[in-house]
Structure 1
Amino acid sequence: MTDLVCDLERDFPICHLRVRGTLGYATAPELRAAILKVLTDQPDVILVDVSGLDVEDDITLTAFAALVRQGGAAGVSVVLHGAPPALAAQLDTMAVTREVPTFATREEALAAHARRPAPTRAQIDLAPDLDATAGARHLVDRCCALWGVGEVADDAALIVTELVANAVQHARTSCTVTVTLRERYLHLAVRDGSPRPPRRVTADSDLESGRGMLIVEGIAIAWGVVDTLGGKVVWATLRPRRGR
């Protein structure tokens, strides 16, 4: 089998992704796209079943480490389970297991996840009007106060204002704002109904139209855009000084 098939089973807040086929230079982007799409749902953890995975070139296994780092920036754990002996040896040889939590079975992965503190989450749906940014700021301010991370409240409010303003002005659709506090990160995500990427300042653009994303880049420790069915999610992450 030379193709890579990624089957998703959603059991929110846990997502199960079964990867079957051959991982190689040609198919690694399919793995990345599948996990990035799952990240937009902001699950607590993505359990990746690799029991049916073959590897064309060992170096492509480092894609899992990159995805774990991306998941960490988004506040979502990514773990592997079910690797047969040959694959487990390859993961160890490439030092992937130093960064990627790996378990023998799905049950062991679930048990390890159950021992971790659950995240705190809040969400609001907003219409594409001038009141949207105020509603988003109110949600963020309230969450930061309730969750004891007031030290990042101003930065979080500024980021969410820019993300929602981008959705209102350029996507021109309703949007959903999700605020999630995990062990080390405060994660902000805005989902809208337009596939167009957020406006950014470029050499041939005016400063005002793209200044919002410059602000986000300057404040967040990480941010990104993931395409979804019928739209996109723009997310950004902050690290509270005190943690949880």
Structure 2
Amino acid sequence: MTMTASRPTGHPGYSETLLRRPESVATARRLVRTALAAWDMEELADDGALVVSELVTNAVQHARSEVIRLVVSRPGPATVRIGVVDKSKAPPQHRPSGNEDDSGRGLVLVAGLADDWGTDLLPWGKRVWSELHRKDSR
């Protein structure tokens, strides 16, 4: 895990390069929970863990590189941003899923839990991100 210099909020960001493997989902959840505990924002831990699980799972399934990058930052006093960077330029897409399908609901879950989410295209890939806000700040 890497901590970056303080942001305008006075809090460092956290990031880690992960292998594009299913086991990395658990590592990503731990990093999000660690950052939220350090920032005294544990009330977002369950939603943050679920959001990062879905974002990392999508990258594991669809990215083209051997590694992905997880970045957890605090752009505002009551806001946490979780971003997953990979080398695929293909944006994530909502897939229709039926009652019997085992997958295809991840982005719906992210959209339902997050206060905002989106994709930033990069020269060599993309960053899919989600923002969570403290309940008392909405």
Measured against the shorter chain, the TM-score band is 0.7 to 0.9
Q: Which residue of 1 aligns with 2:59?
A: 167
> Do the aligned partners of residues 242 and 119 (structure 1) sit closer, same or farther apart at CA in structure 2, a change above 3 Å counting?
farther
Per-residue displacement from partner, 1:175-196 (whole Å, max 9, x unpaired)?
1111112312011111001011
Please state which structure has a larger fraction of its residues in helix.
Answer: 1
Q: Which residue of 2 aligns with 1:135?
A: 27
Deviation at 1:172, TM superposition (A): 4.1
Q: Distance in 2 between matches of 1:148 and 1:164?
A: 24
Figure out how many residues of one structure are paired with residues of the other and give that number.
Answer: 130
Q: What are the ranges of 5 or more consecutive residues in structure 1 without an aligned counterpart?
A: 1-12, 14-43, 45-115
Provide the secondary structure at the position in 1 that maps to 2:105: helix
1:158 to 44, 50, 57: 50
Q: Distance in 1 between matches of 2:101 and 2:128?
A: 20
Q: Distance in 2 between matches of 1:119 and 1:229?
A: 28
Q: How many percent of aligned residue pairs carry the same amino acid? A: 35
Larger radius of gyration: 1
Q: Pairwise mapping of residues 176-195 of structure 1 onto structure 2 (< 5 A)? A: 176-181=69-74, 182-195=76-89
TM-score, normalization by structure 2: 0.83
Q: Distance in 2 between matches of 1:228 and 1:195?
A: 8
Question: Structure 1 residue runs of 4+, over 6 Å off?
Answer: none
Please state which structure has a larger fraction of its residues in strand.
Answer: 2
Per-residue displacement from partner, 1:5-60 (whole Å, max 9, x unpaired)?
xxxxxxxx8xxxxxxxxxxxxxxxxxxxxxxxxxxxxxx5xxxxxxxxxxxxxxxx
Contact 1:197 1:225 in 2 (8 A): yes
Contact 1:201 1:209 in 2 (8 A): no
Q: Distance in 2 between matches of 1:213 and 1:199?
A: 8
Cα RMSD for the two superposed structures: 2.5
